[in-house]
Chains A and B, each alone.
Chain A
Amino acid sequence: MKRIIYPTDDGGVAVIVPAAECGLTIEEIAAKDVPEGKPYKIVDVADIPSDRTFRNAWEYT
């Protein structure tokens, strides 16, 4: 399973969670749902922390 990450305007990171039923590839979802002009990365779900205690301190690197 994959996730798409991109930096937010306030210095944090947004994580896009694809819907399995939508029929689009992860690349197509990135092209559609990442805000225009934002850089993004496709990462493995295991690379996203499951501990969300400090979720708002996550950064895009």
Chain B
Amino acid sequence: MAMTISGTSGVTFPAGGVGNPAGAVVGTTDTQTLTNKTLTSPTLTTPNIDSAQVATVSGTAPIYPCRAWVNFNGTGTVAIRASGNVTSITDNGTGIYTVNFTTAMFDVNYSVTLGARPASSGTNGRSLIAGTTYSTSAVQIQFINAADTAYLDPDVYCVSVFR
């Protein structure tokens, strides 16, 4: 697969790079296509991936991209709106779903972030929890009415996995 890197401030390659002189900077108006190359610790300054520009990064804290995500509706005809690295969700019953990963996680020490929009308004709190399945290939999630611990179907359910 070819990868095209183009930026507005140049792209700096590390020593021992991919055929460029060590530390070479591709000019601001240049575009270089790399095919089957490995970049070791490159410094990319506001590069584009396809047509999307990677946002300018503030500070030096490391970045941990999302490894899997899904947005689906849990009411009516359950359906996935959009997803990444997810083959499917399993509807196990009211308020209980399993997210199945396309490519498995490295281990089970990943972090799951959940968000939901309840199907109905109410004064009771809602609990979003990771359930009984927490494996490298899938994670079960649950949506619960905090007042009586009854399972509920959310109108929108969003799941993100980080590692």
B is bound to A: yes
A: which residues have CB within 8 A of B? 1, 4, 8, 12, 14-22, 24, 29, 32-33, 45, 48, 50, 52, 55-56
B20 lies within 8 A of chain A by Cβ: no
Known: A21-B83, A32-B87, A55-B153. A14 touches B92 (CB 8 A): yes
CB-CB nearest in chain A for B80: A19
- Chain B residues, Cβ within 8 Å of A52: 75-76, 94, 153
- Chain A residues, Cβ within 8 Å of B83: 19, 21-22
CB-CB nearest in chain B for A20: B80
B contacts with A: majority SS:
strand
CB distance from A23 to the nearest CB of B (A): 8
Known: A52-B75, A52-B76, A52-B153. A19 touches B94 (CB 8 A): no
CB distance from B83 to the nearest CB of A (A): 4
User: Chain B contact residues (Cβ within 8 angstroms of A): what range?
Assistant: 20 to 34
B: which residues have CB within 8 A of A? 70, 72, 75-80, 82-84, 86-94, 100, 102, 138, 153
B80 touches A24 (CB 8 A): no
B92 touches A17 (CB 8 A): no
CB-CB nearest in chain B for A46: B77
CB-CB nearest in chain A for B95: A55
B75 touches A17 (CB 8 A): no
Known: A19-B70, A20-B80. A12 touches B86 (CB 8 A): no
Q: Residue among B75, B84, B90, B102 with the most chain A CB within 10 A? A: B90
